[in-house]
Structure 1
Amino acid sequence: MKDYIQHHEWKIIEPSFDPAVNLVSESLFSIGNGKFGQRANFEERYSGETLQGSYVAGVYYPDPTRVGWWKNGYPDYFAKVINSTNWIGINVEVEGEELDLATSQVKEFSRELDMQSGILTRRFVAQLPSGKQVAVEAVRFTSIVDTDNGAIRYTVTPLNFSGTVTLTPYLDLDVKNSDANYDDKFWLPIAHQASAGQAFLSGETKKTGFHLGVAMSYELTLDGQPLTAEPTITDKPMWVGNTISQAVEQGQALTLYKYAALISSLNANNDAIEATALASVAAAKQKGFDTLAAEHSNAWAEKWQEADIQIDGDTAAQQGIRFNIFHMNQTYTGEDARLNIGPKGFTGEKYGGVTYWDTEAYGLPFYLKTADPSVARQLLVYRHQHLENAIKNAEKLGFKDGAALYPMVTINGEECHNEWEITFEEIHRNGAIAFAIYNYVNHTGDTAYLAEYGLEVLIGISRFWSQRVQWSKRRNGYVMLGVTGPNEYENNVNNNWYTNKIARWTLEYTQQALDTVAQQDPARYDAILAKTQFNSKEDEVAAWVDISKNIVLPVDDETGVFIQHDGFMDKELVPMGDIPAAEYPIHQHWSWDRILRSCYIKQADVLQGIYLFEDEFDTETIKRNYDFYEPMTVHESSLSPCIHSVLASRLGYEELAYKFYLRTSRLDLDDYNNDTEDGLHITSMAGTWMAVVEGFGGARVKNGVLSLRPFIPAQWQGYAFKITFAGVPIKVSVANGAVTVENRGDKPLVFKLFGQCQNLAAGDSLRHIL
């Protein structure tokens, strides 16, 4: 755990420069706008340890699979959202001496991300080896208004000398991914051109053929007055730039405004990319840095109006939740159904930047309640677009008749993960997608989605489950063998409770969806039956009913808990508190063999199922399972603490709920798992929001009705959150011994508060004494 980020309600502040944590800081201070993003690399050259990263949504490379031995069904590649053109670069020389914080003496340093405005600022004073000192202020943002544009204001001020300062703004496509399987570079040059004041560079990805064009333009001022300088031009296939030298007096501020436009072939025809990029960067320059920044900040203010969570009396908790909300909103906007949420977003390369089950299980609930329903709908449409590939993925493994297995890892619908215990066995991801459809319909009332898209997906997934189970004469029931549940510290197990549970639920929900569509849209229903060849409805549904009634979901006779999987109770059941502190995290200190034989749980497994299907269990059942499994959970997945926090809140374990909330909210800020350097845990950030709204706020949607049951952690003086339900925006405030619910919409809201039905007119509020 690291603790060097200052606590502040709205800002992430690094008060000094420590090269040992620079990679962590590059992740923490990353910025993006849903279309592209940038790690917090320095603009000037830095020869120390760094992970240069600029990422464009949807642009990927199929990196050939690298495994020790091949198995039938292995995907040929691991898809990666790849590092692209370095558009932020500004090399700096002072009297011919290069500015490099790795070789300079850093006298002062601060880095600040203002989450309220979405603007990143870095200030430092550096003493070069010659003794010359310069002050630098670098301000940048990726516009969420003009989403093709990024802008930088870079100011150099000589402090103890007068002399020549040389600035070189440039674009560099000669980049690589740190995680390339064979150390390949993924870009081929297409076009390049540089002239005084601007430059353009374009490239094409190998194999996938994506085109990306990046244009830059700049302007200079000296003490605020415009400068005209004749640059030296560099025009190479992978590197273009201008070099400008300027005499600067001691104390004068030389400022370079750099504007960039990034245009990919996802958003423009290949032959129009150059013209589009140059026109976009010219328009950005015409607006000017201050106007672009003001529009960007105003747009962030509007986002915060709807998505903010306010916490009084606990700055660390307040900073944590805003940090998580900020990154969720700059990672995904829902404007393009071809895009999804990478586990690292635009902050790093681990996990390839592609889609996991995290999206449906963690990301979707956040967008359901904080954004227009169309945003969550787009996430589901993304999966429908990939249904045919999900069917092909299943066929590769021997399934048939339209059975669909959605990939564990994908960017285009094809499976691209190549660890057998996950690729072939972590099949519960199918259930997460089915549950997401239910979750969306339950929250929005948009049953038309089932007819338009959802039912086809549910049929494919249910067909998979019906073929994946097998009858056990010994158990007198259906079993599911050779799976990996959410707990990846146990592989190739039989009858994982969570997997069996969500499979049964999916089969039951698909039957309900069939009936709903048949009643509401008979013509579309007939079309779906024909398309899916669901002509023997009675036979298929009869099989699903039989499986649902007879699938094995074992309960331990002695403890009364749901058995995580066959054989779990044969393990030595020792609480995690018995592990020496020096051996955490165990995945970095123990052999894999030892981990697999242990009882230790990476993340919520049985408890994940209880979280999803809470209504099916009484409080005593939830408590019994929580008390049994939580002490053995080591939380070495970023997705784990939030689920435990929500359930702890449900059980009245308020201190434990707060502990897990703080851990999930500050997971990256404090680098709990010692892995923030390779990118932030974007999807678990949605879990932080869940811990507040669903945990402390007690928000649930039961049978299409919103229910609230808030309490306030002892560490807080008050808190408030805003959600949208069934098209009605509401605000929930908890403080001074009372709960206040405000209807901020233009239609009435029927909901439950502590189990009592309430009818709140548009514009009205209700206060309830705790």
Structure 2
Amino acid sequence: MNKRSEGHPAALQLPREWSLVEDAYDEKDNQRKESLFALGNGYIGMRGYFEEGYHGKEGASVRGNYVNGFYDTAPIHYPEGAYGYPAEGQAMLNVTDAGILKLAVEGETFHLNRGHVRFYKRVLHMQSGVLHRLVEWESPAGHRVLIHIRRLVSLTHRHLAAIHYEVTALNFAGTVSLCSAMDGDIAEAEGPPDRGGDPRLGARRTEPSLLFEEAGSDGRGGGWLKQRTRHSRFALLTAMSHRLALPPSASYSLSEKHDRQRLSVQYDVALRRGDTFSLSKFISHHTSRDTREEELLMQSEGALRLAESRGFDGLAEEQHAYLDAFWSRADVEIKGDPALQQGLRFNAFGLLQSAGRDGRTSMAAKGLTGEGYEGHYFWDTEMYVLPFFTFTTPEIGRALLEFRYRTLEQARERAKVMAQRGALYPWRTIGGEENSAFFPAGTAQAHINADIAYGIRQYVQATGDEAFLVRQGAEILFETSRFWVDLGHYDPGRDGAFCIDGVTGPDEYTAIVNNNAYTNLMAREHLRYACETVGLLRERYPLQYARLEREIGLAEEEIREWQRAADKMYVPYDDELGIYAQDDTFLSKRKWDFADTPPENYPLLLHYHPLVIYRHQVLKQADLVLALFLLGEQFSREEKIRNYRYYEPLTTHDSSLSPCIHSIIAAEIGEMEAAYDYFGRTVRMDLDDVNGNAKDGLHTAAMAGSWMAVVNGFGGMRLDRGGRLGFRPVLPPQWESCRFKVMHRGQRIEVFFDREQVTYTLQEGEGLVILHDGERLEIRPEAPVRRELSADREPAGGHLGN
């Protein structure tokens, strides 16, 4: 196992398999809880902040409200610049806060650090998609109220969020006031307050990014606010409306106040003892990135009218129905470890909440839960998040790939800046332009081109969606293939092998190297797939191919060159050790001194200069080991064992992307104890705050990696080159059974295995052929197929066979 510390093992609470429950308020942990209790729908994200605000002294709060793909730009200042450095950075904005609801009981303001909290519970229900908070509060004067707050971000209406606020007067008759507001003056202080030199947090903005333009109200407690980003000049319109429900005996008065960027409405309600009243608040966000600016107000009004007609309960019913359909495809059920069961569902739910599904947006590294990495999209999407959606909710998978097509022109421009042909996708971006200001661990990671190509291939093979390949995917493949052939060269000193110099692989603790094995292997696969796609299009879609050929000026000699480069691709190998070298020089460096590295010095990037790290054999995350998984058919079992055993002890897993990959390969080669340990660390990455930074947003790649670790690791799922599904399940000794479902070309198959056998059941579709441990099986409706579970995969020290 690796040498770094195990982070923060304390769980949030005893696990509930379908919910996340907080039984007591702890202000010191408030900011992390805001990430954990965040809600979203792929467009809107709302952190789990308290409606009344945070008033603690020991913790911190980020009242985060986000719109996927909505960003401002700002100049990047380099003390020492150079040609081709990105001139501007993009940052996802914390937008207008419309989640404000402040309660006063007989003039005394409610918050959790005042008066007496007699009862407290907060519950995120993952089957219903609703966040509940129940508080019994006694004011300093002794007035007791029961407060029940429900919140949702609609999964069926992407511009809508809603809050239902219910108050019961328990021991008094009097006036209860509820003030609902939205505030567009988002102070910088409300962002992450102390970056402490952590490059994962991004730059601090020194001026407001949202500028006021106009505001208005409908005279019935509703209002809207229009703002514009300072530099990118996108427009945002945020609006709210309300529905009040009173007992027959109650009366109320309403007052409104508009102060430029803050709009508020206050309901003063006279209640008798035992009376209950409620206020439903509906919130909409629209931006000029996806709506014509002149239609922003009209679209907002329409969304709020729809919300009012449904009511909170109607929206909640729709939410539940949507999630019923989602869980029927995406749920993974394990028996024997409730904490990991909870984590798997929390992670799947989190992925659904943060994934863009409109083709214009993607999945940020922290999703819509926080501002870590400034809301940027990385390769995480294609390598980790995309497989989850491809095999559970393929329509979202396609939308994520469509984002890459929409930003292909920016990738072409980036290649030109880098003096290359074709297209080079950005390492980190929102709008499509490169945002990485540290090129050794950014732009140099050209493997992102091959990662996107791999994602396209896997998606098309798994779904059969050749229409996407013809209309969009092929153009991406061809332009990025041009890049590889232009970047690399044929080295006479290596018998004319095709070499790729000056790149960084997935391991960011080793930078600017020649012939990173992962990059070369993936580029070879990329070029081969591009050639296969040419053949497919010529045979089945000749008219579309001819059009694309004309539009991008594709020449026959280019295609031959793609094949030649693939055939002659150099992959460094060490004969003495019998392993693939991570790059040309990695194995010649001295190994990192793990024994004398104190636990508090992890992650290394926060405690050592990059050059110190670069001079050693030490890995931040899976690199060659990742290739063993993605391109598994190209390695023998012996090779996987030797390579895993060499690189695993050198890996710190300072990246949250790493443990899941090691879990998958460990399971494949029979090292089940390590597989389970890495899996546990992945699945509860955020719930247990393993890396200590969940406060800045959740780790979406690890969320998706936990699904992969079950389905690809313990379930042994792979696609062969023809796109056929294969499984080789192995049950961890800690479990009684495991059940998951995957979609394949419009059909849904359930895989269930316990200690004795595996059962394959077709739940949706007409029939398909799969492989079980190499055996061909035909699965038909209403005819489950059972096979004895293979004996536990032999430990790596046992017999070595392919």
Task: Return 565-574 or 32-41, whichever deviates more.
Answer: 565-574
- RMSD between aligned residues: 2.2
Separation in 1 of the partners of 2:65 and 2:506?
A: 31
Cα 1:694/1:137, change in 2 over 3 Å:
same
Structure 1 portions without partners, runs of 5+? none
- What residue number does 2:73 align with? 62
* 1:598 Cα offset (Å): 3.2
- 1:627 counterpart = 2:645: yes
- 1:98 counterpart = 2:120: no
* 1:82 Cα offset (Å): 1.2
Q: Contact 2:250/2:269 (CA < 8 Å) preserved in 1?
A: no
* 1:225 Cα offset (Å): 4.7
Structure 2 portions without partners, runs of 5+? 1-7, 192-201, 790-802
Cα 1:532/1:407, change in 2 over 3 Å:
same
> Which one of 783, 788, 793 corresponds to residue 764 of structure 1?
783
- 1:218 counterpart = 2:237: no
> Which one of 104, 111, 114 corresponds to residue 125 of structure 2?
114
Separation in 1 of the partners of 2:383 and 2:767?
A: 30
Q: Which amino acid aligns with 1:337?
A: G
* 1:574 Cα offset (Å): 5.3
Separation in 2 of the partners of 1:31 and 1:227?
A: 33
- What residue number does 2:794 align with? none
Separation in 1 of the partners of 2:509 and 2:535?
A: 39
Cα 1:517/1:575, change in 2 over 3 Å:
farther
- What residue number does 2:448 align with? 429
Cα 1:77/1:127, change in 2 over 3 Å:
farther
Q: Which amino acid aligns with 2:232?
A: T
- What residue number does 1:397 align with? 418
* 1:90 Cα offset (Å): 0.6
Separation in 2 of the partners of 1:85 and 1:127?
A: 31
* 1:228 Cα offset (Å): 5.0
> Which one of 271, 296, 321 corresponds to residue 344 of structure 2?
321
- What residue number does 1:361 align with? 383
3-state SS, counterpart of residue 288 of structure 1: helix
Q: Which amino acid aligns with 1:39?
A: R
* 1:126 Cα offset (Å): 4.3
Q: Contact 1:745/1:763 (CA < 8 Å) preserved in 2?
A: no
* 1:158 Cα offset (Å): 5.0
Separation in 2 of the partners of 1:424 and 1:216?
A: 42
- What residue number does 2:430 align with? 411
3-state SS, counterpart of residue 253 of structure 2: coil
> Which one of 369, 373, 392 corresponds to residue 351 of structure 1?
373
Q: Which amino acid aligns with 2:542?
A: P
Q: Contact 1:196/1:233 (CA < 8 Å) preserved in 2?
A: no
- 1:659 counterpart = 2:677: yes
> Which one of 335, 339, 360 corresponds to residue 312 of structure 1?
335
> Which one of 477, 482, 485 corresponds to residue 505 of structure 2?
485
Separation in 2 of the partners of 1:69 and 1:249?
A: 69
Q: Contact 2:144/2:171 (CA < 8 Å) preserved in 1?
A: yes
- What residue number does 2:460 align with? 441
* 1:644 Cα offset (Å): 0.9
Superposition pairs of residues 279-294 of structure 1, within 5 angstroms = 279-294=302-317
3-state SS, counterpart of residue 87 of structure 1: strand
Superposition pairs of residues 540-689 of structure 1, within 5 angstroms = 540-573=558-591, 576=594, 579-689=597-707
* 1:395 Cα offset (Å): 0.5
* 1:191 Cα offset (Å): 2.6
Q: Contact 2:251/2:271 (CA < 8 Å) preserved in 1?
A: no
Separation in 2 of the partners of 1:228 and 1:251?
A: 15
> Which one of 353, 375, 381 corresponds to residue 330 of structure 1?
353
Cα 1:463/1:517, change in 2 over 3 Å:
same
> Which one of 40, 48, 51 corresponds to residue 40 of structure 1?
48
* 1:567 Cα offset (Å): 2.3
* 1:233 Cα offset (Å): 0.9
Q: Which amino acid aligns with 2:259?
A: K
- Identity, in percent, stands at 35
- What residue number does 2:747 align with? 728
Q: Which amino acid aligns with 2:364?
A: G
Give deviations 1:206-239, integer Å, cap 9, x for gaps.
Answer: 23332222222223345x5585522221123311
Q: Which amino acid aligns with 1:219?
A: R
Separation in 1 of the partners of 2:774 and 2:169?
A: 66
- 1:175 counterpart = 2:186: yes
* 1:451 Cα offset (Å): 2.7
Q: Which amino acid aligns with 1:90?
A: L
Task: Return 289-298 or 247-256, whichever deviates more.
Answer: 247-256
- What residue number does 1:504 align with? 524
Q: Contact 1:5/1:670 (CA < 8 Å) preserved in 2?
A: no
Q: Contact 2:619/2:650 (CA < 8 Å) preserved in 1?
A: yes
- 1:701 counterpart = 2:719: yes
- 1:716 counterpart = 2:735: yes
Separation in 2 of the partners of 1:116 and 1:326?
A: 9
* 1:495 Cα offset (Å): 1.9
* 1:444 Cα offset (Å): 2.4
Separation in 2 of the partners of 1:591 and 1:629?
A: 22
> Which one of 352, 375, 381 corresponds to residue 396 of structure 2?
375
TM-score by length of 2: 0.91
* 1:106 Cα offset (Å): 4.2
Q: Which amino acid aligns with 1:182?
A: R
Separation in 2 of the partners of 1:568 and 1:389?
A: 33
Q: Contact 1:158/1:250 (CA < 8 Å) preserved in 2?
A: yes
Separation in 2 of the partners of 1:230 and 1:753?
A: 69
Q: Which amino acid aligns with 2:185?
A: D
Q: Contact 1:196/1:230 (CA < 8 Å) preserved in 2?
A: no
* 1:533 Cα offset (Å): 1.6
Q: Which amino acid aligns with 1:340?
A: S
TM-score by length of 1: 0.94
* 1:591 Cα offset (Å): 4.0
Q: Which amino acid aligns with 2:392?
A: T
| Number of residue equivalences | 763
- 1:456 counterpart = 2:475: yes
Q: Contact 1:173/1:239 (CA < 8 Å) preserved in 2?
A: yes
Q: Contact 1:405/1:430 (CA < 8 Å) preserved in 2?
A: yes
Cα 1:644/1:299, change in 2 over 3 Å:
same
3-state SS, counterpart of residue 230 of structure 1: strand
Task: Return 704-713 or 325-334, whichever deviates more.
Answer: 325-334
* 1:663 Cα offset (Å): 1.0
* 1:241 Cα offset (Å): 1.1
Separation in 2 of the partners of 1:368 and 1:64?
A: 37
Q: Contact 1:575/1:632 (CA < 8 Å) preserved in 2?
A: no
Task: Return 92-101 or 623-632, whichever deviates more.
Answer: 92-101
* 1:320 Cα offset (Å): 0.7
> Which one of 292, 298, 321 corresponds to residue 269 of structure 1?
292
